[in-house]
A = this chain, B = another copy of it.
Amino acid sequence: MNEHPLYQIMHPKSVAIVGASNDYAKMGTIQLLNLLGGKFEGKIYPIHPQEKTVMGLKAYRNARDLPEPADLAIVTIPNSAVLQVLTDLGERGVKRAVIISGGFKETGESGTLLQEEILKIARRYGIRFVGPNCIGVIHPAFHFNPTMYPYLHKPGAVGVASQSGTYVTQIIPYLSKFQIGYSQAFSVGNGADMGLTEVIEYLGQDPATKAIAVYIEGIKNPREFIRVVSQVTRRKPVVALYVGGTEAGARAAASHTASISGPDHLYNGLFQQAGVIRAYSVEDLFEWSFALASAPPLKGKNIAILTHSGGPASSLSDACNRWGLNVPVFSESMQEKIRRHVPATGSTRNPVDLTFFTDLKGLLQTIPEIILSDPSIDGLLIHGIQGGTFFRSVIEANKNVMNVPSSDQINRFKEFFFSVLENFIKFPQKFDKPVITSAFGDRRDEAVAFIQDQGIPCYGAPERAARAMAALFRYAEIRDKKSSE
């Protein structure tokens, strides 16, 4: 695997960067900053025609002047200059590149010719590359982020192959809300040399990648895609968002990454053959991938639902059924056990609704333990993860008219609270069953942040949790089918 060109692109010991300067308004400069600020441990060689130093680093006038053939070149310069720079890099023995520059096949005929030229040069010098017209790659665990967007949250287990740069970089604030972390993420752009299929193949081999999220505008070689991806989906789940199946989507894709799209039904067939789960929004793409990457496999489709509010309980139930999951009525004996912990106004049949103001231990410890111990239940959905947010908002709104609790009271509550959570976060592994949660609050709530940090999905609305659980079931079906093939 160390021989894979994409492995080498993701693990460079030295990087030549073409397009960085001392001007903070340039994308290349911000990319260099992200390498420096992100504590990339390799050597960095800025290449700049005039500057002697770039961001404090010695700069080289030309790639041919580099003190060594860098393991990787990052190229962020106007399209007209790429050909010469690539030649210079090739002459110096550089064999791997990420070409971020746009203005190639996606812009029409002359761009297409230019793209063919750079491919020829690359072939001549044995250069393998990602791009052009991409935003770069991110490998958080390797402290390697030569894109223009800082990656500040934890590395994770979601591998990304994307024909959109935005869905690798500008989406980071969204991903960090749910602590959806990358193992490695590739923006492939026009994919002139290596595209989606090569990236999926590579991520399929990467041990840190547990699920693969793919954003597709068009697949160049469907037969090759099916051949490669079918192998990957035997071992790990692949989720795809395909946007080229409509007239407007196809048009947008063509001008974005020069992709030739195909009709929806054709791609549905292709995904089915390859064992790919199809999502229809970028939120589902990443939320499903993260659930698949972090939760134990779902073994059947019998789901338990637990909340302290009836609306989300009904929404979760309805969404489960709509997305192909069962919400079986619990056995009388299980209901009996649960009933001891549920107020008379609540319900115990499945969904379990504790109603408002019940004990936290019931919601996150006692009842989940009863439910997950039952062999007839395959997975658990919980809505309403919440720490002190509600009480803080009550205090904030009413501090002039109430006694604010003492810090001693608050600390006692917190201690109790986190002891419950510490136990809760072990349940998926302990019972080997997926637990997916949702909450209307966000990471400013300490309970939401805590369980997200421990790798339990906590999404923004009940239906999103249910859909992610359904994606787990879809993968269970795919895996079963593949293993019987």
Contact = CB atoms under 8 A, between A and B. Distances in A.
B255 A349 contact: yes
A107 to B, nearest CB: 6
Interface stretch (A6-14, A90-98, A315-323, A421-429): A315-323
A440 B356 CA distance: 32
Interface in A202-255: 215, 217, 241, 243-249, 251-253, 255
Contact of A251 (B106, B329, B396): B329
Interface residues of A, number: 103
A393 interface: yes
A315 B281 contact: yes
Contacts of A384: 170
A390 interface: yes
B282 A394 contact: no
A260 to B, nearest CB: 14
A401 B37 contact: yes
Contacts of A27: 356-357
Q: How many copies does the complex hold?
A: 2
Interface in A368-409: 384, 389-390, 393-394, 396-403, 405
A119 interface: no
Given A150-B397, A247-B321, A397-B34, A389 B173 contact: yes
A463 interface: yes
18 contacts: A24-B402, A33-B394, A33-B402, A34-B397, A165-B309, A165-B356, A173-B441, A174-B441, A243-B314, A244-B314, A247-B321, A249-B321, A252-B305, A252-B327, A256-B310, A281-B315, A282-B312, A283-B460
